[in-house]
Amino acid sequence: MSAAQPTVLVVEDEAAQREILGYNLEAEGFRVLFAEDGDEGLLRIDEEQPDVIVLDWMLPRVSGIEICRQIKTRPETRAIPVIMLSARSEEVDRVRGLETGADDYVVKPYSIQELLARVRAQLRRVRPSTAGIQLEYHGIVLDSETHHVLRDGTQLKLGPTEFRLLATFMEKPGRVWSREQLLDRVWGRDIYVDSRTVDVHVGRLRKALCAHGGDDPLRTVRGAGYALG
């Protein structure tokens, strides 16, 4: 399993739907998490910070609309894309779902290929490096398909961990990442690594970025973590 594998949370109370979605999402290379109701979904979001959420409207106890509203009003989760699934096909229902904060709205029954395409589209927006999109920042160019990194036209030598670190930083320039967040994103939750390992690899990344001159673009934020720019 790739440590940088994108994660999709499926919040769906119908077991058959969860199984179909899980099978197809995993076949596409996603790490898939499941929740059977909204409360469990919110718990999984807090624990795992998924990249994309697929959320059913009709859930037991608390509706998907209310769960979406909670996700989008919380600063720590509002940026996570939410794809709402619903049997409600009327325009007024679509509008209500989108106005609540859903990033996309898919009507049941849906084509699984269409849903996968919509998940990929949302992922391209929040984690472009996983979709093979080239990232650029102040003369640094990262190509996630060829795994090449250039700085001011000169190719840099980066190990796979340093490459994933740089991709994480370049997806959100200016964002401060804690060591724990970098461990989850770059190494993965299933692997135990001491947080001091992050410092070692950030040091290697800095050395590689500055190997041919130029200022250090990485910033250490005392007591908080690291940021690009």
Domains and CATH numbers, the chain: 7-126 (3.40.50.2300), 132-228 (1.10.10.10)
Nearest partner of 28 among 110, 131, 102, judged by Cα = 131
Rounded to whole angstroms, how far apart are CA atoms 172 and 60?
36
HEC string of the chain equals: CCCCCCEEEEECCCHHHHHHHHHHHHHCCCEEEEECCHHHHHHHHHHHCCCEEEEECCCCCCCHHHHHHHHHHCCCCCCCCEEEEECCCCHHHHHHHHHCCCCEEEECCCCHHHHHHHHHHHHHHHCHHHHCCCEEECCEEEECCCCEEEECCEEECCCHHHHHHHHHHHHCCCCCECHHHHHHHHHCCCCCCCCHHHHHHHHHHHHHHCCCCCCCCEEEECCCEEEEC
Q: What is the pLDDT of residue 2?
A: 43
Q: What is the pLDDT of residue 55?
A: 96
Most confident of 95-99, 123-127, 128-132, 223-227: 223-227
pLDDT digits (tens, 9 = 90+) for 114-147: 999 999 999 988 888 777 778 899 999 998 888 8
Residues in the chain: 229
Q: What is the pLDDT of residue 3?
A: 44
Q: What is the pLDDT of residue 18?
A: 94
Look at residue 89 and tell me whether its pLDDT is greater than 60.
Answer: yes
Rounded to whole angstroms, how far apart are CA atoms 67 and 57?
9
**Mean pLDDT value across the chain:** 89
